[in-house]
């Protein structure tokens, strides 16, 4: 019950200038208000850190996908070039294209 009363006083003090001025006379209420403000500031500082962490993880995942796509693209390009060379060799020496 007392905790709810303190919470109500804190809310009333934070919602008006007169409430903050009256809280100066009550050191316990002033301390609770300062704790609430510090907790809100700390919570506000945690959110950007979480966003940066998630963005960093997404950037790493995007780089990995990009590297994998490039390696697949290069390996397929090399294989197609090799197939074309075999096809040309077959046409030159055997006179007919290979049937795969």
pLDDT single digits (tens) 29-45 = 777 778 877 877 777 77
**Which one is predicted more confidently, 70 or 46?**
70
Q: 28: closest CA among 50, 5, 57, 6?
A: 6
- pTM over the 0.75 mark: no
What's the CA gap between 56 and 11, in Å, rounded?
37
Q: 13: closest CA among 33, 27, 28?
A: 33
Cβ neighbourhood burial of 32 (10 Å; 0-12, 13-18, 19+): middle
> Are the C-beta atoms of residues 74 and 66 closer than 8 Å to each other?
no
């Amino acid at each position: 019950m007392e905790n709810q009363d303190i919470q109500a006083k804190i809310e009333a003090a934070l919602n008006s200038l007169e409430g903050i001025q009256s809280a100066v006379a009550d050191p316990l209420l002033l301390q609770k208000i300062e704790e609430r403000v510090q907790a809100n500031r700390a919570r506000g500082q945690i959110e950007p850190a979480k966003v940066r962490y998630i963005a960093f993880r997404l950037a790493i995942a995007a780089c990995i996908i990009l590297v994998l796509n490039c390696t697949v693209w290069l390996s397929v390009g090399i294989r197609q070039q090799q197939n074309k060379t075999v096809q040309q060799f077959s046409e030159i020496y055997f006179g007919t294209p290979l049937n795969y």
